[in-house]
Amino acid sequence: MSSATTRLTSGALLLFMFFCAVDAGAIPAWSRKYETSCSTCHAAFPKLNYFGNAFRNNGYRFPAGLEEAATKQQPVSLGSEGYKKMFPDALWPSHIPASVPLAVRGIMRVNSIENTTADGFEFPHEFEILAGGTLGDTFSFFGEVEIENEDNENEVGMVLALQYDPRPNLHVRVGTIQVHPIPDALRLTAAHYSPYDTRTTPSSLTLTVPNPNGSTPTLAIKAGVEEDRWRFREDQPGVQLWGARNGAGGNGGLTWALGVVNGQGLGDANSEKDVYARVAYKFGGYGEMGGGESPQNTQFWRDDSFKVGLFGYQGSSTNTFVGSSTVLSGAAGSGLVQVSAERVVDNDFDVMGAEFDWWFKDLNLFGLYLRQSDDDPRGTGVSIDTDAWFVEGDYTFYPWLIGVLRYGETSQDLAVGADPETQEFLVPAVVLVARANVKFTLEAQMRLDDPGKGQDRYLLGIDFAF
């Protein structure tokens, strides 16, 4: 065992024993509303179980008409029920949560990266303020303000969406949209799902401009991109129509989504809009819209079922590369001059893929394959096809102890030149749920391909919410 692994293992045990001696008293916003444990909706937060998925599919409400009976903190009414009969001569009544629907999540990490001196405490890595609730019978909302450490600088991110729920199984979401079929934000590890991280557009290009002093015909200037480069992982502003329904006998069922999104950031980089769609069917298990009773099974993570789905995304990206250099002028007595270079790279692309999700007793095996085809992501006239996939197995040894093992590959096929070597990712992890809202993760992030060797990362993650 390496010294880095030994240090992290010892730290994990000490921190686990310390936190197990402390009773975590506060609970997040949904738990306060229903006065129920986090395990009602989560196999291990933030990963959802069968009931959590049904709760989300019902517009953040208890399924099968159980919302009113399950709600312990009765909402504050905004208008009398009689106003419904008076509409349109009166405002349609609504309600707001009885208490401020906020929750806090903190993430801290202890990091060790192979062949570097980057061992240290990242306290905190991320701090989140979460909000979620319902506004009357047919509106719901979700929001998040996230402050994350990135290279020793704080970055602020925002998530905000208002959802219209005219029926329990039909929703129109306006605001922040997750376009990927397996939500990256619900993973158990610090490592992201590798196919979602693929970026075909480079972060910089070398541009040539005329040399003002004539010593050489041209100058080479390194130019960086101004806008964020597109990747499948990012949440996007847009509009989504989605829904779900139970299958035969109230088990399993269909989920689907259609959406239109910016494609590149809060202020889109071009006038084109991206479109996407996905559909999945679950065979067996708890209904996608829920059952007739609240779950009483203490094995809240089990849901013997198999889901398979297809998805597609079509979009366009625009990236502006800008750079400058100071050189000697060719004119006598002019001294130094600033030379600038700029280039706009437009790229059309599409993503197609498939997913699966299999729950069998204490094992959850799931994965995804995608193929991304880019017309000209580097402005060189060369197209790139990317194939990426991953498979993950989560095994629940005890409700508080989960083993995780993920393997993934990413390869790119350039139309001109030799193929780059396939990147191989391995992520083993152990998740310790000290309390329903306090979790520790001991994790390794490993590259198995030759170019990635010597860059393995080991970390201890500390995650809590209230």
Query: In a 3-state reduction of DSSP, which class is residue 34?
Result: helix
* The pLDDT value given to residue 5: 43
The tens digit of pLDDT for each residue in 172-187 reads: 999 999 999 999 999 9
* The pLDDT value given to residue 454: 86
H or E stretch including 278?
Answer: strand 274-283
In this prediction the pTM is 0.88
Q: Which residues are CB-contacts of 14 (< 8 A; sequence separation ≥ 6)? A: none
Give the residue extent of every domain in the chain.
28-111+119-383
* The pLDDT value given to residue 384: 92
For 168-217, where are the E strands, in sequence order?
A: 170-177, 204-210
Of 54-68, 367-381, 426-440, give the lowest mean pLDDT range: 54-68
Length of the chain: 466
Q: Which residues are CB-contacts of 270 (< 8 A; sequence separation ≥ 6)? A: 263, 264, 316, 317, 318, 346
Query: In a 3-state reduction of DSSP, which class is residue 383?
Result: coil
393 token code pair: 């197995």
H or E stretch including 71?
Answer: none
Cα distance between residue 296 and residue 290, in whole Å = 13
The tens digit of pLDDT for each residue in 164-174 reads: 999 999 999 99
The tens digit of pLDDT for each residue in 226-272 reads: 767 899 999 999 999 999 999 999 999 999 999 999 998 888 888 89
What sign has the CA pseudo-torsion 133, 53, 259, 104? positive
The tens digit of pLDDT for each residue in 338-363 reads: 889 999 999 999 999 999 999 999 99
Q: Label residue 18 by pLDDT band (50, 70, 90).
A: very low
Radius of gyration of the chain (CA): 25
What sign has the CA pseudo-torsion 84, 85, 86, 87? positive
Q: Label residue 431 by pLDDT band (50, 70, 90).
A: very high
What sign has the CA pseudo-torsion 256, 247, 140, 193? negative
